[in-house]
Amino acid sequence: MRCSSDNKFASYDETELDVQSEDLTGNEINYQIHLNRPCSSCGQEAASADLELTLSIDHECGEVDPTDEQYWSNDDIVWTVVGDEANYKTRDEALEAAKGNSYAVGALWNPDEEPEFDLSSSDVEEVDTMQNKDRHGKPITKSRYMKHLIGAHVTAHLSCQRCGEEFDVDGEDTLGASEFEDAGH
């Protein structure tokens, strides 16, 4: 590319990533990321692209300990009694049905309720690689036939509102360098 500020040929600098939006809905996080390839000579945006990335949250809450007091007043728990097929809304109802035998009382997460999540932060890193396999999965041996790929790797830091566990979900997506729009630099 030719830099318009000094009319010389210039290369691209490191790609700059800007998260335009992050939207947590149910078990998915949708990101819109702006990729800017600045001119190495003057630093102005020389080429850009917008990338949409969706991360799926796959989380299973751990088992509920019916003897742990922290769960006794949790609304997301279903209480059971050994030998009884009924489910109870509260621990006290289950204890009454078990005739005071706390060893016969069990607890599990309500299967009718999906957990909700809190997104505390997201880390975004550049992905800059070459496509080294063809569409059949065979290695491409000559670099001239490899496609230059640029994109983003996102790590989302989440916590489950139901069980309190903190965990990460990550994913990435790329675009071909030829898919970037020239900024008219």
Q: Which of the four pLDDT bands, split at 50, 70 and 90, describes residue 158?
A: very high
CA distance linking residue 132 with residue 146, whole number of Å: 6
Query: Which amino acid would we find at residue 69?
Result: E
Residue 90's domain comprises 69-109
What radius of gyration do the chain's Cα atoms show? 26
Q: Do 120 and 51 share a structural domain?
A: yes
Give the residue from 167, 159, 161, 62 showing the smallest Cα distance to 107.
62
- Give the 3-state secondary structure of residue 182: strand
Q: What is the pTM of this model?
A: 0.81
**Is 85 among the domain residues?**
yes
Token pair, residue 35, equals: 């990729």
Q: Do 176 and 124 share a structural domain?
A: yes
CA distance linking residue 5 with residue 42, whole number of Å: 7
Q: Which of the four pLDDT bands, split at 50, 70 and 90, describes residue 4?
A: confident
How much is the average pLDDT of 109-133?
A: 93
